[in-house]
Every structure is written in C-alpha cells, then in structure tokens.
Amino acid sequence: LEAVRILTKASKGSGVPPATAQQANLHLSEAHRKLGHHDRALEAANASLAGNPAWLPGLLARADALAAGGKVE
C-alpha cells in the first residue's frame, strides 16, 4: 500500500512533468490491479492516456484492468 501512496502522489503532484505523471499512473494501474482494485486500476490506466490516447503501454494497462474486472466483450 505504500507503493500506491507514493505513485498517487507522483501522478498528481504539482509541478510533476507530464511524462512522469504518465508513468506513475501506468504503475499505479498495475499496483491496483494486483491488489484487486479493478475500478481504480482502470481509472489510473485512463489517466495515463490523458496526454496521448494512443500510448500503447496505457492501452495495454487499460485492457488488463478491464479484463481483470471482468469487463470483456
């Protein structure tokens, strides 16, 4: 849970460069997914895509979060 706290701070802190926030959100999504917090994982994955909706690592994290939460078509 300490990792989630640190990553959340890094993803939303003032003055954090966009690329750093993007990476922090990506890792935050993975941490939430591993903890079974699938909605939070999806939220973080979506946040990682805010600056570039076509960013492949963010898209993969989003797909992982959706699958882990049982939201597959």
Question: For every one of its 73 residues, what pLDDT tens digit does the chain have, with 9 covering 90 and above?
Answer: 899 999 998 898 788 899 999 999 999 999 999 999 999 999 999 999 999 999 999 999 999 999 998 887 6
Task: Give the residue from 4, 12, 2 showing the smallest Cα distance to 47.
Answer: 12
Give the pLDDT score at 23.
Answer: 96
Q: Which runs of E-coded beta strand occur in the chain?
A: none
